[in-house]
Amino acid sequence: MKDFSLQGEKMWRGLTNFWTFVFLVFLIADFFLHNQLDFLIAPFSVIYIGILGLYVGTKEFDRWYEMHESRHPGELFVLVWTIVIFSLLTLSVFLSDGYSVSSEAVADYIMVLSVFALTQKSKSLYMKKRERKRKIKK
């Protein structure tokens, strides 16, 4: 059962990485195309957040059932998203009219931050629980 779980996590991580790359490239392209592709941001957003949620949910479920072994820090997702959003916001200030960041992109960034914060809290609670169990066994 353990191998199946790790394969499932790998699959969701792979999909999450793929859609993160596709979505961020899309957001950058939309920005430079003066938001001509805004009509596609909502569908991309729903797909991305759905897959991210499934990956994180799978990972946290596995952690709490002691089946999670890999280390793939969410800090990288947050860092990449922060760089992209900050860069686009900065560029929109300095470039001429027509360059703007979609509010949907900002909402997705906030969702990524929220998911990261929740997983960090879950991880912290899990570590405390594990530490208490270890102390009881001693």
Which residues lie below 8 Å from residue 124, measured CB to CB, with a gap of 6+? none
State which H helix or E strand residue 125 sits in: helix 103-137
pTM, 2 dp:
0.78
Radius of gyration of the chain (CA): 18
Where do the H-state alpha helices sit in 65-102?
75-94
Tens of pLDDT along the chain (138 residues) come to 444 445 667 788 889 999 999 999 999 999 999 999 999 999 999 999 999 888 888 877 666 666 555 565 778 889 999 999 999 999 999 997 889 999 999 999 999 999 888 887 777 776 777 677 777 776
The first and second tokens of residue 122, run together, are 């879950």
For the chain, domain boundaries: 2-137
Place of tokens 């957001």: 27
